[in-house]
Amino acid sequence: MYTDLTQAQIDSYRNNGFIVIHDFLTADELETWRDAVEEAVAELGQWKLAGQEGNERWQEGDSYYDRVFVQRINLWQANEKVRQVMLDPRLGRMAAQLSGVEGIRLYHDQALHKAPWANPTAWHLDDPFWSFSSPDAISIWVALDDSTLENGCLYFMPGTHKRATFNSSGIGENLGDLFNVYPQWKNNPTVAAPMKAGSCSFHNGLVAHAAGANMTPGWRRAMTCLYMPDGSVFNGNQDVLPDSYVATLKIGAPLDSDEQNPLIYHPVKPLVTA
């Protein structure tokens, strides 16, 4: 795993709101990630959120959004192999260095697999969906297959994280709805981010991004993880948090449960390890 970031990479991330790291995983590591993720996705079946099997809210249906990607969340909680992969402090250290924060908690992981002929992923911001609001939230997106212009690679709008508010448009059927909320971005340039399997990107939770349709008969599989700066507080959005946990939270309460959001990197505090 390529984990050493140069100052130039960190600067590029801070300026653009994203960075692509080619050849992030070795061939063996890629095999480990694929095997773990495939096993966990198969175990969850039609349920999108681990621990919520049987809860209709998290049942896959046949909506437009269900055809954007196969989305399976918190696989680390359900599967030992994914837990080994996701609780790796090296991932947390990279997230901390890029965002310039001290400690990193795992907010949630998610497999995002575009099936053959999947719908495009509309332009959106991530952070407004989440249970905390931070300009330093960051995600990793790891290509488990070659991700190409043909099968639905990511696209970014550089620099938008610097000006975004927490207003958003969701991820609907209209690719450009985000630009009704941010009309000042309508003519901004965009950057495609095709990646070989085993490469990855990191992106800020407030940078505008999207992905293409899958115009091929093959799969475009990706494993992602969303990271929360240690010290972040509950903003009132339930998102993927279980009912029983949300019932204990007031707005402004620290999201510091190591069962739900393990501390995976910190220079001094004890970490949760696999």
Ligand X SMILES: O=C(O)CCC(=O)C(=O)O
Q: Which residues bind ligand X (CB under 6 A)?
A: 69, 112, 121, 126, 139, 141, 209, 211, 222, 224
Nearer to ligand X, 130 or 266 (CB): 130
| Beta carbon of residue 253, minimum distance to Fe ion (angstroms, whole number) | 25
Nearer to Fe ion, 138 or 263 (CB): 138
| Beta carbon of residue 7, minimum distance to ligand X (angstroms, whole number) | 25
Residue 126 engages Fe ion in binding (rule: CB under 5 A)? yes
Nearer to Fe ion, 79 or 168 (CB): 168
Nearer to ligand X, 121 or 232 (CB): 121
Residue 222 binding: pick among Fe ion, ligand X, none (C-beta 5-8 Å cut-off by kind): ligand X
Residue 179 binding: pick among Fe ion, ligand X, none (C-beta 5-8 Å cut-off by kind): none
Residue 127 engages Fe ion in binding (rule: CB under 5 A)? no
Nearer to ligand X, 212 or 266 (CB): 212
Show Cβ contacts of residue 137 under 8 Å, excluding neighbours closer than 6 positions: 99, 107, 126, 127, 130, 204, 205, 206, 226, 227, 228, 229, 232
| Beta carbon of residue 258, minimum distance to Fe ion (angstroms, whole number) | 25
Rg of the Cα atoms in the chain: 17
Residue 121 binding: pick among Fe ion, ligand X, none (C-beta 5-8 Å cut-off by kind): ligand X
Residue 79 binding: pick among Fe ion, ligand X, none (C-beta 5-8 Å cut-off by kind): none
